Chain A
């Protein structure tokens, strides 16, 4: 399978715990995006990378969220001190370039904070 892979697919955690998600993009893609999606809403932009450089982080994202993409390959999204409001689907996408380029999405990681 050469698509975008996300791990884990599901995560249940207690409030206050830290969680980390991983995204493996399509290998030749230099652009990588993270989105968050709650029920009935469209994907909400969180951050994106061009190779290993983080180009932008949404102002809606608190300091508890951090993302990395070491060596421009896989990426991790960490949420510290999780809150119930963090419960959502976290989606990763990759593309070869930006702008009009087609983005390929993973199946997401569903986070439930109890």
Chain B
């Protein structure tokens, strides 16, 4: 499994766009990039997934450069309720493997 590196924590203000970057230098050809969000005292929740370029849904956007050695989760116009831990995961779709979490990025939104 490719190792991922994320900032331990980030602060931002309400209404701002927040970008969380994840480094995965050893990503393999068949690997997908997935982000989960976890609120206190809850299980993680799937946010978005992508393979290359850009993916957007109602919650976030995921930007993946051509070399795929990093990815950026973008949260538009954050609110206090976006305060959570965000996990970047890399996994091989073809290997049907287990899901492994790192330490994640603790995002704190300030009023």
CA distance A44 to B102 in the complex (A): 8
For B101, list chain A residues within 8 Å (CB): 35, 42-45
Which chain A residues lie closer than 8 Å to B49 at the CB level?
100, 102
Q: How large, as a class, is the contact surface on chain B?
A: 20 to 34
CB distance from B101 to the nearest CB of A (A): 4
* Chain B interface SS verdict (over half): loop
B62 smallest CB distance to A (angstroms): 13
Kindly provide the distance from the CB of B30 to the nearest chain A CB, expressed in whole angstroms. Answer: 9
B44 with A102: CB separation less than 8 A: no
Interface size for chain A: under 10, 10 to 19, 20 to 34, or 35 or more residues?
Answer: 20 to 34
Contact between A107 and B43, CB atoms less than 8 A apart: yes
Kindly state the separation between the CA atoms of A114 and B1 in the bound complex, as whole angstroms. 36
Which residue of chain B has the shortest Cβ distance to A106 in the bound complex? B43
Q: Which among B13-21, B65-73, B74-82, B86-94 touches the partner chain?
A: B86-94
* A103-B96 in contact given A42-B87, A42-B101, A42-B104 (Cβ < 8 Å): no
Contact residues of A with B, CB < 8 Å? Answer: 4, 33, 35, 41-45, 48, 55-56, 89, 91-93, 97-100, 102-108, 110
